[in-house]
Structure 1
Amino acid sequence: MKLHASSFLSKLIWFSLLLGTFPVIVLGAFSYLTASSTLQTKVYESNQQLLQQKESQIEQLLRLIDYSAIQYMNQPRVIAALRGSLQGDATGVGTVQKLLDAMSKLQSSELGAMSMELVSLRGKWSVSDTGLSELSTSDLSEYDKWVTDPRTSFWSGTPSSMKLVKKIPAYSAHPTGLLVMSIPLYEINKLIGSDTKLSNVLIMNEEQYVFAGNDGAVLGKRFDALPFGDKKEIVPAGQGFYTDRTAKERVGVSYRASSYNGWVYLSVVSIDELNKESQNIGWFTLFLCLGILAVALLISYLGSRKMYRPIQRLYEVVRNETESAVTAAASNEFEFMNERFRRLLLQEHRLLQEMQGQSHQMKEYFVFKLFQSDMAKTEIHDKLAMFGHPLGWSDMCVMAIQIDTLAGTRFQEQDRDLLMFALNNIVSELITSECRLLPVVMGDSQVTLLGSSESDAQQFKAYLDTMAEQIMGTINRYLELKISIGFSRVFADFKYIRDAYREAVTALKYRMKLGEESILFIEEVQPEQGVPQHYPDTLEQQLLDALKLADRELAAQLLPQLIAAIAADERTHEAYFVSFVRLLLQMLQAIKDAGVNPNRLFAAEQELFIQLFRLKTAKQVEIWFQDAVMEPLLQHLEQRRNEQYHSISSEIIRMIETGFDTDLTLEVCARRMNYSPNYLTKVFRKETGVNFSDYLSQYRMKMAKKWLIETDMKIAEIAEKLKYNTPANFIRYFRKLEGCTPGQYRENYFNN
């Protein structure tokens, strides 16, 4: 079978074409979508600016009218007129004229075609631009909807105008008069303008009726009856944008809700008109991409042919010197050459394996088997002789090395395997081969069998201690890691090597008492059997009480003392974890006793025990208890306590606002809420910054000033309602706070 020389060339051309085509298509689509999105974003931003401008212009007019109304209704002549009755005599005519003169002074070009009406509900008369009118019972009934409205000042709409209604007095539950300011809707439409080139601007009142705008077809309709409003809900006191499809086109609606009077300003723009601009961009992008594709096709063809020439020459050389079996198995030039080279490399690799053998792997397997299983003594000696290891050791010991922690280092948990490999290499370099077997990594430990031909056990142990310090210093210098080293008991027979391995790993577990960077000999750290063990019950109970009271500072002081007391006791490593598990169980029970479900604080309780058993030192246990167990509980209890404090202080404030005119005391509040007065005093001061009596006095003084301004109550009546013993006490306290007597305060207010 003869290969076609162009098989790889065609693939190369297609690959180059695909490599040039895909980015162009992605770039073109991205450019078109980005341009369209940017265009719509700009239109949305401009519509929001337009709505903000219209809102500012209209509300400036409304606020000016509101301010004029306040000026007029607070004039002494207006207040005096509403308190009395107007007659047709000379005095009444003069009063009406003064009221009309005051109305005319408020008229200005800025307010437009505004009209005013002053209504006396008590005197049953009204004064407007047309003069004085007497009101009948039927006339007064027309004002009932405004009188019963709980608001003291509000805008009310009619088909032709918007009316500002203000009650007089402003905060009285039974007003004696009304001031009505009317502005025609065409004044508002004048501010909106009639330019609909970009969008239509509409205004919707609190009842969601469109009452103004430059689109006459939707005026007077409810928002949910509009083509673009049937499925949308405008968020009160907010702004936003959404799209909708009407029967004719797709539109985008921008809206702003006014915080002044609750009106909503809408801007409706046709997205189909905007997309016409995007389509022009899309056509330009398409033609540009087609041009780039044509250039990419030409470059792909010419470049691929030039790149293929060296491959073609190499293929011709290899094909002429190979057997036909290889040619028949190949489908293209590269597969053909790959098969030929693979056979050559395979033959070379087999020869290399036969020369080098499997010496290192066999040594490593032998050491693993030596540590983990019982081997016959004759098999051990045979393998030691075969691998060239020393046979004349009189003293032997197993050394195990573990990393204390990766916290605070430049390494992550995924680097642990690589770090263990580095530790193994460092041990191999520091300890000569005459004094050790091959160092190996077993789980999270680096394990080495050390030996000495000297018969002095003390000298051998001193050598082990010196070598451990050298290894620890070298690792700290190059890797900046904290490690601990454990040693088994010294033994003389290889049959004890498996037990010695377990002793070395067990010795490392006593870091719980000695801490990080420890050199641990099993015979020195393992306590004697039957030693009585003490558990600090008092410290534990104090810590649990501090947690229940959410006393963060005390808990932070007691936890290190409790952990240190447990770690200082002579006990086995299993007993350490039994004590820590007991502490964890007590904390979980304390959490439940506090009415907290542990599942709200922790993902799973069993995961806590798994994390605890992974810890190696008392310091790690202390940090873990602080961060993983105590901190979530303290945060939850503090949040619950703050919520309770806020609820209590809010209830006390409500009692003050509703019962300020009664003999209200802190003890009365405490009886109603079933709390002690001392506890309420602490909570209320923490939440408000003042004590109960000061807050009650301040609120009563606030109500006194309000009654002085808005009512005709006498000073003695106010003092009696506010529960002062005598009017003199009330006058004295008022003068102390305000610098004047209540009568002077009322007189100064109306004079000013």
Structure 2
Amino acid sequence: MRLRGMITRRFPRYMMLLLAFTLLIGAIPVLSLGLYSYYVAAGDVEQKTKESNMQLLSQTQMYIEQLKKTTELTGNQFARSPLVAAALSAPIDVEEHIQIRDLYSGLYNLQTFSSVSEAYLIDLQHDWVLNFTSVNSLNGLSFKDRLPVYANHPNNMFWDTGYLPSDGGAAPPGTGNDTIRLVQKLPILPFTHQPKGFLIIEIDKPRLRAMLTDNTKEQMGKVYVMDYTGLDFLDRRDEEATHYAAMNKRIAESIASSGQSSGYMYGRIDNRDMVFTYRQSSYNEWIYVSAVSLKELTRETRKIATGTVVASSLVLIVVGLLAWFITRRMYSPIRRLAEMTEAVSIGESGGKDEFSSLEKRFDILFSNSQNMQQQMQDQLAQLKQFLMLKLLAGQLSESEFTYRSALFGFPAGWKRLAVLTLQIDTLQDTRYGEHDKELLLFAIQNMVGELIAPEVLFSPVLVNQSQVNMVASGLEDEGELRTYYYGLCDLIKSKVMEFLKVSISIGISSPFEQTSYVVRAYNESLEALKRRVYLGSGMIIHYGDTEPGLSNMAAAAYTQIKWTEDQLIQALSLGDTEKATDWFDTYVSELSESNLSTKEYPVFMMQLVSRIYQIVQEKGGTVHHVLGERASYARLMRLNAVDDIAAWFKRDLIQPVGLFLAGLEDSQYVSIANKIIQLIKEGYSRDMTLEGCAEEMKFHPVYLGRVFKRETGMTFSEYLVNYRMTLAKEWLENTNMKVSDISDRLNYSNTTAFIRSFRKVVGITPGQFRTNQQKQA
């Protein structure tokens, strides 16, 4: 504590907060400007790099397409020459040196670029192939198996990258992965899908890759070419190419779906963040891609970041020095004021800062009298309520109450008193829950204190679930008193509904003169409220208007109520929820008409709840599992109106029990049906009847038939016949058993009866069925 005080005196909290605020005001613009400058510069660098890569890709595309177009042009000129046409018209003669020399010369002229590694002139009809070095038969051609694929290609001239669509994306045997071929069907005119020969020019992939690298050597990262499916046909199928395969597929799919032939895409390769710049050629749909690491891309931005950090740090140091100077100047008046009031003790806790300490000191100096007055007012209100609670409990004599009543300023000079007890009817269908009840009663008590003049109202109190008021009056006439108290109650009820949207009922006791009768008057108001069971909710009930209930019911009425209760329980036990609900409505109506006393009505209700509990337990269930916590005696005792009690019985007792019994019944039906099916499977070869199954299962045949039809949709006889015909079809199809033998095994009296039954179910005779199955096999 001493160390904390030393630190506080040396570094006052408010001064530190003021310093921090000043630093924050100066630092935020500096940091914001620095970060903005850095991100703008970094974005410009990245964008310019992307544009540069796109330009390089465009140059690369133009370079490669120029190579391809030149190769196609020279190949097309050679293929159209009369020399080639004459060579394909007859078998080549190796002794025709002039012809072969001219063909060699034409092939050599195809080497426009150094990347052309080989060229082939192929005659399919006369079985010969001519390349740069020799003339051979087609059997010596390494990619002879590739020629049918070329012949079936829809185009007369096309490029084979080694992965034509007809190959399923895989390199066929003999093609090699390091060659790209320009294939020209011969003759060029007329165009045919069955050519006489081919002119094939091969370009080495390694040379093309080397040319690609030389053309883009100033670019960062990797540059490669792939087809429209995303296949990098120039790669070496190494580990690096495999890592790029998924990203290449994404690029191809993006181009196909969006229709954009160029763009940028970000990805992650080998734990490196990459940016991919791509461009698709409209000439042959090849896609040119540049893959650059973001780390390399942003290398130039690090210099900008370093300069930004240094500049921002210098500015922050200057701002810090200015903030310290300004803070000391601004804090000096506060320090002097704290020193002036330091003599006022505020305890060891002090305050969070200098201002809170000063506030506490000023409160101590100027608010003692106000605090004392407020404490007296609070204690007086509590004492008044405590006095009323003792009076209602019968713990005060009349003389003692009279003395304290004058001391606390209770109403005086009255001629009559009455107790008004308020209770909330129900919170169902309102925005409140049960946990809000006490808060609502407290709010109602405050409203009563505002609606009734303090000259006639003794201190309102809360007792259990009731709000109790003792109200004085200067009237003596019985009729005028009733009108007066009823008017007060009607005003309270309407205001509560207006502001709280809650229905309440109010019980009014008989008027009395001496406070010693207050306990009896309180009980009278509670007794009046119990009549809500018959009268409904939202009532104002005067005790004098209630007739005492009959302590003994007439024997006939009691017998009728018990009989109705038995019918209700019987219907519910059978799972007939709708009928049980109708009997419950009759039961409630009979109870209301019997004019029970308010003490007898809950007894009947609790007996009915107990019998419903007994149904659940007899069926093997538990009350808590089937009904839950809402279906409890305590819940019933908190309900006051007949409508609420009836709704509770139907919703929380009758319906859950009905669902529970229906579930048990469905489970029992399924078990019975499965047992009958098992008996059919075991006894299909002998005489079987529903009566025999009923005798074995100890059930009535009519009941078994109804249950079986409900679960399977067929009668017992229909199911038995269908099962036997299913076995018959299986034996006819998979065995050589005679029809007569099958008839005997299925317990038919003769073969004719079996055939008739089979034809009725299947639609054809057993012999026709076996013949059809043999034809299908």
Alignment TM class, shorter chain as reference: 0.5 to 0.7
Deviation string for 1:186-236 (max 9, x for gaps)?
Answer: xxxxx9x99xxxxxxxxxxxxxxxxxxxxxxxxxxxxxxxxxxxxxxxxxx
Name the SS for the 2:425 alignment partner: strand
Deviation string for 1:362-395 (max 9, x for gaps)?
Answer: 5444444433344343444444445555433333
CA contact (8 A) 1:396 1:452 kept: yes
Name the SS for the 1:647 alignment partner: helix
Deviation string for 1:435-486 (max 9, x for gaps)?
Answer: 4334333332222222322221122112323333333233223322111111
C-alpha distance in 2, partners of 1:707/1:465?
A: 92
CA contact (8 A) 2:577 2:658 kept: yes
Name the SS for the 1:4 alignment partner: helix
C-alpha distance in 1, partners of 2:399/2:582?
A: 60
CA contact (8 A) 2:345 2:361 kept: no
Match of 2:602 in 1: 577
Deviation string for 1:145-186 (max 9, x for gaps)?
Answer: xxxxxxxxxxxxxxxxxxxxxxxxxxxxxxxxxxxxxxxxxx
Match of 1:706 in 2: 730
Cα deviation for residue 646 of structure 1 reads 0.9
C-alpha distance in 2, partners of 1:652/1:675?
A: 11
Q: Which has the higher mean CA deviation after the structures are superposed, 474-483 or 709-718?
A: 709-718
Match of 2:591 in 1: 566
Match of 1:322 in 2: 341
Q: 1:325 to 1:431 in 2, by over 3 A?
A: closer
CA contact (8 A) 2:509 2:542 kept: yes
Q: 1:603 to 1:406 in 2, by over 3 A?
A: closer
Give 2:772's aligned amino acid. N
Match of 2:192 in 1: none
Does the alignment pair 1:636 with 2:654? no
Deviation string for 1:633-665 (max 9, x for gaps)?
Answer: 333322222221111111111222232222111
Match of 1:416 in 2: 437
Q: How does 1:335-484 map to 2 (within 5 A)?
A: 337-353=355-371, 357-358=376-377, 360-386=381-407, 389-484=410-505
Give 2:770's aligned amino acid. R
Q: 1:580 to 1:301 in 2, by over 3 A?
A: farther
Match of 1:312 in 2: 331
Q: 1:475 to 1:721 in 2, by over 3 A?
A: same
C-alpha distance in 1, partners of 2:739/2:330?
A: 111
Q: 1:341 to 1:590 in 2, by over 3 A?
A: same
Does the alignment pair 1:657 with 2:662? no
Q: Once the two structures are aligned, what percentage of the paired residues are identical?
A: 30
Match of 1:113 in 2: none
RMSD: 4.5
CA contact (8 A) 1:527 1:571 kept: no
CA contact (8 A) 1:326 1:336 kept: no
For 2:766, which of 727, 736, 742 is the aligned residue? 742
Cα deviation for residue 670 of structure 1 reads 1.1
Match of 2:649 in 1: 625
C-alpha distance in 1, partners of 2:326/2:672?
A: 83
Match of 1:691 in 2: 715
Name the SS for the 1:539 alignment partner: helix
Does the alignment pair 1:676 with 2:710? no
Q: 1:321 to 1:682 in 2, by over 3 A?
A: same
Structure 2: give runs of 5+ residues left out of the alignment. 28-167, 172-267, 275-294, 296-301
Cα deviation for residue 687 of structure 1 reads 0.8
Match of 2:11 in 1: 6
Does the alignment pair 1:720 with 2:731? no
C-alpha distance in 1, partners of 2:766/2:396?
A: 107
CA contact (8 A) 1:381 1:391 kept: no
CA contact (8 A) 2:416 2:476 kept: yes
C-alpha distance in 1, partners of 2:427/2:736?
A: 79
Does the alignment pair 1:498 with 2:516? no
Q: 1:325 to 1:345 in 2, by over 3 A?
A: closer
Does the alignment pair 1:553 with 2:581? no
CA contact (8 A) 1:660 1:722 kept: yes
CA contact (8 A) 2:550 2:595 kept: no
Q: 1:324 to 1:564 in 2, by over 3 A?
A: same
C-alpha distance in 2, partners of 1:693/1:363?
A: 86
CA contact (8 A) 2:553 2:594 kept: no
Q: How does 1:67-146 map to 2 (within 5 A)?
A: none
Q: 1:440 to 1:349 in 2, by over 3 A?
A: farther
CA contact (8 A) 2:338 2:358 kept: no
Q: 1:609 to 1:687 in 2, by over 3 A?
A: same
C-alpha distance in 1, partners of 2:499/2:456?
A: 24
Name the SS for the 1:723 alignment partner: coil
Match of 1:231 in 2: none
Name the SS for the 2:421 alignment partner: strand
Name the SS for the 1:396 alignment partner: strand
Q: How does 1:135-174 map to 2 (within 5 A)?
A: none
> Who wins on radius of gyration, i.e. which is larger?
2
C-alpha distance in 2, partners of 1:301/1:658?
A: 97
Give 1:392's aligned amino acid. G
C-alpha distance in 2, partners of 1:745/1:597?
A: 57
Q: How does 1:212-223 map to 2 (within 5 A)?
A: none
Give 1:428's aligned amino acid. G
Deviation string for 1:86-113 (max 9, x for gaps)?
Answer: xxxxxxxxxxxxxxxxxxxxxxxxxxxx
Q: 1:720 to 1:491 in 2, by over 3 A?
A: same
CA contact (8 A) 1:404 1:616 kept: yes
C-alpha distance in 2, partners of 1:331/1:462?
A: 61
CA contact (8 A) 2:418 2:512 kept: yes
Cα deviation for residue 347 of structure 1 reads 4.4
C-alpha distance in 2, partners of 1:343/1:8?
A: 17
CA contact (8 A) 1:649 1:683 kept: yes
Give 1:548's aligned amino acid. S
Name the SS for the 1:507 alignment partner: helix
Structure 1: give runs of 5+ residues left out of the alignment. 21-190, 195-273
Cα deviation for residue 410 of structure 1 reads 1.3
Q: 1:293 to 1:717 in 2, by over 3 A?
A: farther
Match of 1:521 in 2: 542
TM-score, structure 2 normalization: 0.55
Cα deviation for residue 495 of structure 1 reads 1.9
Give 1:322's aligned amino acid. T
Q: 1:344 to 1:639 in 2, by over 3 A?
A: same
For 1:486, which of 472, 497, 507 is the aligned residue? 507
Q: 1:317 to 1:714 in 2, by over 3 A?
A: same
C-alpha distance in 1, partners of 2:542/2:535?
A: 12
Match of 1:233 in 2: none
Q: 1:322 to 1:586 in 2, by over 3 A?
A: same
Deviation string for 1:305-337 (max 9, x for gaps)?
Answer: 79976983464132231244649x668874665
Name the SS for the 2:541 alignment partner: strand
Give 2:13's aligned amino acid. F
Name the SS for the 2:703 alignment partner: helix
CA contact (8 A) 1:8 1:333 kept: no
Cα deviation for residue 683 of structure 1 reads 0.9
TM-score, structure 1 normalization: 0.57
C-alpha distance in 2, partners of 1:306/1:677?
A: 106
Paired residues, number: 496
Cα deviation for residue 680 of structure 1 reads 0.8
Name the SS for the 2:422 alignment partner: strand
Name the SS for the 2:429 alignment partner: coil
